[in-house]
Amino acid sequence: MASIRQRQGRWQARIVRKGYPAETQTFETREAALQWARALEAKMDRGDTLLRSNAAQMQFHDLIDRYIEDVVPLHRGAKDEIIRLRALQRHRIAQYSMKNLTQQVLAQFRDERLRTVTAGTAIRDLAVISAMINHARREWLLPITNPCELLKKPASPRGRNRVLDDKEEAALLLELAPRGRRNPLMFPIVVLAIETAMRRGELLALKWHDVDLKRRVVQLHVTKNGDPRTVPLSPRALSVLENHPGDRCGSVFPITHHAMAAAFKLACRRAGIADFHFHDLRHTATSRIAGKLSNLVELSAVTGHRSLSMLHRYYHVKAEELARKLAV
């Protein structure tokens, strides 16, 4: 039952119902407040389903808690995933019960997110919600439906094709050169990223016992697609590791993701490089390595791409280079 009260000459209606976030609205007249409250309560009543009460009354907030406790620790990148899920819990959508987490509610959530974030971020948010609900259905046997299945997803953004040119690279490395209070790890991290096409997480997970300077390779045990791979080292990459300071034990680059991201962003700003992300170094490296390894099997062995379609996203050959090859 809605509560109606007068405040500062206006009428406030408030509805508190289990399984829904609290709703409050202010009107000029008491009749308007009652009309709004009756309409909203009727809408809530029409949303009842035949789900069993334990699942129906379970809040989405509680489902996220259980997912974080039971499932997320088994994932790579669990720390970042927990941050994303805790942010989702702070959104009002987490106050809905699973019974009332309908397609319409998620559509409103999607539209709201699209006003503040990119389409790619909104798509990832919906994918996480769908994954949690599907896990609850399969593994916890909760008799719930997945409202994400029929929800229209935002159009996927076009893949980035930003690469670093020679002038930008020189400016960036100059800003990353260790001096003063600047982190001495950033210069070798960026050089290795450019020379090997390794991802940020692969670089930061690298251990000295996985580096073989004699064979000129590093062994990656944990990669994004789950397959270990051996990465060859170019002369430049080998030189950077040979001259890398510090003890030859433990992590090659003892720095956190957040500290590295902040230092890289600051260096790009100082170097005057706009619209450039750390992951764009992988695009840059793959394009350069492709100029040396024309065999796509060899190229994918270095970069770790499983499919030609994924490799094509990162392989940006210049039209003038193709023209020169055709002229031979």
Give the catalytic positions in this structure. Answer: 199, 224, 279, 282, 305, 314
Exposure string (b/e) for 30-42, b if CB count within 10 Å is 16 or more?
eeebeebbeebee
Scan for tokens 């009460």, then name that residue.
53
Of 262, 269, 240, 318, the C-alpha closest to 168 is 269
Residue pair 306/293 in contact by the 8 Å Cβ criterion? no
Residue pair 105/140 in contact by the 8 Å Cβ criterion? no
**What six digits make up the tokens of 117?**
């974030």
Of 285, 310, 156, the C-alpha closest to 225 is 310
Count of residues making up the chain: 328
CA dist 243 and 245 (Å) reads 6
**What six digits make up the tokens of 175?**
């800003």
Give the alpha-carbon dihedral of 256, 260, 262, 264, to 10 degrees: 180
Residue pair 58/133 in contact by the 8 Å Cβ criterion? no
